[in-house]
Structure 1
């Protein structure tokens, strides 16, 4: 698990860290994007050939791209010692029997290098990890187009990618996540990308958050697993059988979070049929109640999917009582499609416009 201990504000005056940032290999923390595209894993022969020119790059790629162990003595021959020490202190690298392993990988998002989990979650973690998926990339690119934001709030910040995109545009950003690991990852990624003075992160539950300030931009890619809360017995982001518990809570809190000219951008997913997602009538009513104007951009539909992290059979169907519960719910509501979407909300004349990604 990433430790934030090595990345406090005092690190900015730490001479070892200053020396580290002067080293070319510190760009390990940007090298992933130069050669390796936007999402891990990158395991093709072409990729391996592209990163094999220099010893340090080979070592770092073995650790952070291919997830391979590297002998510590060999790593220190090619990679600057301060960098190895920094990553060990933060828990990004671990050492066992003289071999180094990367607990996290590097990904590239719109010019930033981010340390992120190899996988979204697992029972060994007991929670979501700081993870990046295609949904995060979609929302990040929309945020990047918002150039006049002064203050941004990222709820359920994970790696911090959404707040960091706003911070890179000049905003003062605040990230909130229930997972201390995610908060530490967001702080580390802020340092890695030179944005530590513009992004702060704190532990908090978005369902019971008291912020006390208003923001020009509120962003969130909240947990949306369509499972009964507590169904997996660990903090996996179950958001009710419709997957929208966190979504509705966020919508209700927005009037108290947004400035007069502010905007909220929320990424989520919902059941529906061939006509579209079922949430539209309720969302229209909620916006009327809260005095919000909205634009719903719907992704191309996918088949109804079973939630991740739950036990399945060889046909990828949920097994046991949990599977029966979900199948009964899907049949009862008549869902045949599953839609990802981005919702933009602003204070103003209530109403909802529905469009589709092109």
Structure 2
């Protein structure tokens, strides 16, 4: 995508998750002890992942799924255990490498006939091909609303059934945290989460010609301490 704001955010996200936060992310997505704050984030992410998985069919045999921003691979693994042919892609080669190590030769994937392919790169790359489902859990939360909608527009023509994605809901608490974060030295900042009003995101999506006919079918917000995220299911025409 050519948007300057998307490209700038993409660069910051890739650098942060591949260098600054690798160890912290590896710990957060494991069973290792974490602080109370991070425990709320872990619990919230677990609930969000289960929510998105519950919106997929119980069996995914013969279906192709893109885990866009796969991180350490928990959602991709769960989908493959249902029989899906999963492509997990992330900007961070180190997180992709960790995902490969964690789920190598999983017996449940083999028993279900599922398949896992891991790639490091841009989740919007047309070369990834077409999919029945795309899941983008917390991978668009760092982008401006218009860039997030343009990302959906890039994915939609290659998605046969549905796109499940999340955004950071605009709340007073999130807006305050976002404002405070701007005062930290640039080198110490994590990629900013961009709070977006659900209604505003819906309006932008409905005004995007490429998304004509797509509809918002389900929505679920998860609040868990320092984790706040809202999921939306976009169904293909």
TM interval, shorter chain, is: 0.5 to 0.7
- 1:104–1:118 Cα contact (<8 Å) kept: no
Question: Cα 1:214–1:224, aligned 2, differ >3 Å: closer, same or farther?
Answer: closer
Give the match for residue 154 of structure 2: 253
Does residue 283 of the first structure (1) align with residue 172 of the second (2)?
A: no
Question: Cα 1:146–1:292, aligned 2, differ >3 Å: closer, same or farther?
Answer: farther
| Separation in structure 2 between the aligned mates of residue 269 and residue 138 of structure 1, nearest angstrom | 16
Does residue 170 of the first structure (1) align with residue 83 of the second (2)?
A: yes
> Looking at CA atoms only, which structure, 1 or 2, has the larger radius of gyration?
1
User: Tell me, what secondary structure is at the counterpart of 2:119?
Assistant: strand
Question: Of Structure 1 and Structure 2, which has the larger fraction of its residues in strand?
Answer: 1
Instruction: Identify which of structures 1 and 2 has the higher relative contact order when contacts are C-alpha pairs closer than 8 Å and 6+ apart.
Output: 2
Of residues 204, 213, 238, the one that matches 2:121 is 204
User: Tell me, what secondary structure is at the counterpart of 1:206?
Assistant: coil
| Separation in structure 2 between the aligned mates of residue 301 and residue 166 of structure 1, nearest angstrom | 21
Does residue 239 of the first structure (1) align with residue 143 of the second (2)?
A: yes
User: Tell me, what secondary structure is at the counterpart of 1:158?
Assistant: coil
Give the match for residue 269 of structure 1: 168
* TM-score calculated relative to the size of structure 2: 0.59
Structure 2 residue runs without a partner (length 5+): 1-23, 36-43, 173-196
User: Tell me, what secondary structure is at the counterpart of 2:126?
Assistant: coil
| Separation in structure 2 between the aligned mates of residue 276 and residue 255 of structure 1, nearest angstrom | 19
| Separation in structure 1 between the aligned mates of residue 56 and residue 162 of structure 2, nearest angstrom | 10
Question: Of Structure 1 and Structure 2, which has the larger fraction of its residues in helix?
Answer: 2
Question: Cα 1:218–1:301, aligned 2, differ >3 Å: closer, same or farther?
Answer: closer
1:151 CA displacement: 1.1
Does residue 341 of the first structure (1) align with residue 215 of the second (2)?
A: no
Q: How do 1:118-157 residues align onto structure 2 when only pairs under 5 Å count?
A: 132-143=45-56, 145=58, 147-148=60-61, 150-157=63-70
In the alignment of these two chains, the number of paired residues is 179
* TM-score calculated relative to the size of structure 1: 0.41
